[in-house]
Amino acid sequence: MDKTLIKEIVHDIVSKLVDRNFDAIYQNDDRKLISANEIKFAIDDYKGILTSPPIESFDSMDVYLVSEIEANVDFDLWYDDKKSDLTLSCNLRQVSTKLVYSIEGIHIL
């Protein structure tokens, strides 16, 4: 599985979270396990303001290869320009020629 593409997809999700575009995240989510309102609540329930992380932080996200076509990812979100303990957990799968994602949780790790 292409780690550069994984980083691009996670970066896109995080950018949409920062922009508070929860509906777009939900609409593009392959499995739709968590609603747009649940995503919003998880982000808003944490103290502070969600901010864009430095681009190099995507190099240190945790990627767990499940198979050649599937990976689980944990990425620590940034609040008030600091790394937090609130983590985005998602699954990425290759479907035909496309890599799709599904958010599995936004929780404290």
- pTM of the full structure: 0.95
Helix (H, G, I), strand (E, B) or coil at 1: coil
Q: Tell me the pLDDT band of 109, cut-offs 50, 70 and 90.
A: confident
**Over the stretch 71-91, which tens digit does the pLDDT of each residue have?**
999 999 999 999 999 999 999
Which are the contacts of 45, defined by CB distance < 8 A and separation ≥ 6?
A: none
Q: Whole domain around residue 27: which residue ranges? A: 3-108
Bridge partners (DSSP) listed for residue 95: 98
The domain tally of the chain equals 1
Bridge partners (DSSP) listed for residue 78: 51, 83
What CATH number corresponds to the domain at position 28? Answer: 3.10.450
Among 55, 53, 72, CA closest to 6: 72
**Over the stretch 4-53, which tens digit does the pLDDT of each residue have?**
999 999 999 999 999 999 999 999 999 999 999 999 999 999 999 999 99
Among 34, 75, 27, CA closest to 54: 75
Report the pLDDT averaged over residues 89-103: 95
